[in-house]
Amino acid sequence: MHKIITLILVAALLASCVTVPADRVFNGRVYNLSTGEVIPFVAHTNRDGKSVLTAGPTASGESFSGEATSIQNATQTSSYGSAVASNPSDAFSTYVTNSSYSVSRPGYQNGAAILVGNKGTVIDVVYQVTYSGTGEGEGKDNKGNHYRLML
């Protein structure tokens, strides 16, 4: 009996591993549109949809760390209607009902990220990313520089 319970627990644990998506790693680049410098970055996305970011170093030696999160871009609609039609001279009434539900998922997520450098530069980024991990975004730092983010 103890072996059966152990096997059931092991099977349940293995099944839960299959249904939970694995952590993912994405590589990208941040382009400084003021200087032309290209800063590589890595995003480690966890199972909650949040990412831990590391970037750099830049030519000046600044390295960045930060985080990002994204939300699914979906539009959900529903409608419901009903009507009753009856004729006073008729013994029967007609009941008509209609209901519908739709979900639209354009195939990308909207996100925001923040990168904080070890020399005081802070880059604020907004982006869009597809479910496969490709995407683009733009940002600005606390020194007035503009950036383009490519995944």
Q: Where are the domains of the chain?
A: 21-73+108-150
- Those residues whose C-beta lies under 8 Å from the C-beta of residue 3, and which sit 6 or more positions away, are none
Name the residue type at position 60: S
Picking from 72, 90, 64, the residue whose alpha carbon sits closest to that of residue 128 is 72
Question: Which amino acid belongs to residue 17?
Answer: C
Neighbours of 126 (CB within 10 A): 13
Residue-wise pLDDT tens digits, 89-114: 555 555 555 555 555 556 778 889 99
CATH architecture of 21-73+108-150: Beta Barrel (2.40)
pLDDT value at residue 86: 55
Length of the chain: 151
Tokens of 85: 């039609």
Q: Residue range 16-38: average pLDDT?
A: 78
pTM of the full predicted structure?
0.66
| DSSP category for residue 37 | -
Q: What is the residue type of 80?
A: Y
